[in-house]
Amino acid sequence: MKVICKPVGPVMANCYFVINDQNHCLIIDPGDDAKTLTKTINSLCVEVDGILLTHAHFDHIAAVDQLAKNFNADVYICEKEFDFLSDSTKNASAVFMGVPEIVIHTQPKALVIGTNTIGTFEVKAYYTPGHSIGSMIFAIDNDLFTGDTLFQGSIGRTDLPSGSDKQMKNSLKFIKSFKTNYTIYPGHGASSTLEIEKAQNPYFVHNMF
């Protein structure tokens, strides 16, 4: 499986293209710049099986409508954040200076906790609230897409609407229990591995919170 990372938007959120050996693709967190993302996908000559959202903050969703239309793709997210897509306060675009208010019109489908079959992919979705009420992380083979829950050497903020220190602490404890040494693909910044994060990330090492 191939993973291509494209940082987009004013806060450089990572959009991922996950491509399997059947030349099918999942798009994860298309946060901005739909024109460039569309051009890249077309250049890869892949078939898009779906669009996955780790959560519905503006920097992870702004290109959803255009990509869903361009590739006739369904959009999947935790049902707890369905209303974030069309609510600029909940998706935080209304509170960031210089960012246009984002309202997404595409009707999403709910991800279930556990295995989701999306086209030719099997996606294991885990519920990890803390950064937001509907945050999820996705395991696809040996890769773990952690959104704004877990970063290289850090974690996501908890001070936006629906964020929770307590829930974040519980979610990190849950992730720390994973036995597989996943490659970590976060919502911002560089990739890592779960083994490295367990050994070096202060929120794991010192149980910070």
Of the listed ranges 40-54, 132-146, 179-193, 194-208, the least confidently predicted one is 194-208
Provide the number of structural domains found in the chain.
1
Q: What is the pairing mode between strands 47-52 and 24-28? A: parallel
User: Is residue 151 within a helix (H) or strand (E), and if so which, with residue range?
Assistant: strand 150-151
pLDDT over threshold 90, residue 207: no
Task: Quickly tell me which residue has 């936006």 as its tokens.
Answer: 160
Q: What is the mean pLDDT of the chain?
A: 96
pLDDT over threshold 70, residue 151: yes
Split at pLDDT 50, 70, 90, the class of 95 is: confident
Of the listed ranges 27-31, 99-103, 124-128, 191-195, the least confidently predicted one is 99-103
User: Is residue 144 within a helix (H) or strand (E), and if so which, with residue range?
Assistant: strand 143-147
Distance between first and last Cα of the chain: 35
pLDDT over threshold 90, residue 194: yes
At 102, which CATH number?
3.60.15.10
Of the listed ranges 17-26, 90-99, 168-177, the least confidently predicted one is 90-99
For residues 173-192, average pLDDT: 97
Split at pLDDT 50, 70, 90, the class of 97 is: confident
Per residue in 42-89, pLDDT (tens digit) is 999 999 999 999 999 999 999 999 999 999 999 999 999 999 999 999
Q: What percentage of the chain reaches a pLDDT higher than 70?
A: 99
Q: What is the C-alpha to C-alpha distance for residues 29 and 148, in angstroms, rounded to an integer?
A: 11
Q: What is the pLDDT of residue 209?
A: 59
Q: What is the pairing mode between strands 13-19 and 24-28? A: antiparallel
Q: Which domain holds residue 50?
A: 2-205
Query: How many CA atoms lie less than 13 Å away from 162 in the CB half-sphere?
Result: 18
Q: What is the pLDDT of residue 98?
A: 81
Query: pTM of the prediction?
Result: 0.97
Query: How many CA atoms lie less than 13 Å away from 73 in the CB half-sphere?
Result: 28
Split at pLDDT 50, 70, 90, the class of 208 is: low
Task: Give the three-state DSSP class for 20.
Answer: coil
